[in-house]
Amino acid sequence: MTLQVEVLKPAIGAKVQLDRAMIGDPAVSQELLALLERHTVLVLPQIGLSDAEQLALTDALGERVNVAAQVPGRADAAAVYEVTLNEGAAIEREYVFGTFFWHMDGLTVDVPPPKASLLSARQLAAKGGQTEFATTKAAYAALSDEEKADLEGLRVVHTVTASVREVCGPEGIDEARRALRHEHPLVWTRRDGTKSLIIGSTADQIPGMNQAEARALLARLLDWTAQPAFSYRHEWQEGDCVIWDNPSALHRVVPYAVDSGRRMHRTGIAGVEALA
């Protein structure tokens, strides 16, 4: 079976026409995974998934993982995680504000980060709320040989504290979350030999490098990766679902008003390869 695919940008993004009746078909699942590997971000326009259908699609693409439940004190987080700034929501606002900055999911815990994430639009903001993606695989490939050599062997400590630095400071999160930290290579080499940058707002320190030099390097790599050639901004329509290769792509949301009513539903696919 061949799905109808429209490439959005040469380095990142493809729009895929998927009938909900196809969810669970093994051949379709394999084709979607191959497209995800090739394009990093897949847009399923106005597919209108219910929560049950989103979970079914997640399960069809791999082992389901609840990223929110990996956070201390959130073991009871719902399988479909609602991302919103609405009053009374189960999610902490500091976390949502942190998504205004480039990041990858799952870099501060001791398990492989999610292979992929699925995000569905339930209610949109009148202004802002677009989601931007940037491919760290293409960004690394475009570096000069000299720059690549300079990055080899460097490791980065990722912390929750770093991710909220621009939002509330460490005092805005509890002690258990302040303790969340994990070290990853700056350049991840997959089993198939492809390489990508592991960076983002959680990147806090580079062991063996002074803090000013480390921050400058990380900021430069972030700017390089976020340039138009390697990035895609998704203008949401209600019912859209976007799937992205989490260890190959940074993502962030364009800021939107606290009272906008924006609601997104997220699920995740477990990582199958550690960032060693």
Kindly indicate the confidence band of residue 93, based on its pLDDT and cuts at 50, 70 and 90: confident
Nearest-10 Cα torsion for 106, 110, 113, 117: -50
List CB contacts of 147: < 8 A, sequence separation 6 or more.
Answer: none
Of the listed ranges 59-73, 129-143, 210-224, 262-276, the least confidently predicted one is: 59-73
pLDDT tens readout for residues 132-188: 999 999 999 999 999 999 999 999 999 888 877 777 655 555 565 666 778 999 999
List CB contacts of 28: < 8 A, sequence separation 6 or more.
Answer: 1, 3, 18, 22, 60
pLDDT at 85: 92
Q: Say if residue 109's pLDDT is above 60.
A: yes
pLDDT at 174: 58
What is the Cα gyration radius of the chain? Answer: 18
Boundaries of every domain in the chain? 4-269
Determine the average pLDDT of the residues in 67-76: 55
**Which residues are paired to 133 by β-bridges?**
232, 251
In this structure, are residues 274 and 247 in contact, taking their beta carbons and an 8 Å threshold? Answer: no
Distance separating the N- and C-terminal Cα atoms of the chain: 35
User: Which phi and psi angles does 165 have, rounded to 5°?
Assistant: -55, -40
52 is written with which tokens? 């049950």
Kindly indicate the confidence band of residue 79, based on its pLDDT and cuts at 50, 70 and 90: confident
What single-letter amino acid sits at 34?
A
pLDDT at 273: 80
Tell me whether residue 108 is exposed, middle or buried, using C-beta atoms within 10 angstroms of its C-beta: 0 to 12, 13 to 18, 19 or more.
Answer: buried
CATH class, range 4-269: alpha beta
In this structure, are residues 166 and 101 in contact, taking their beta carbons and an 8 Å threshold? Answer: yes
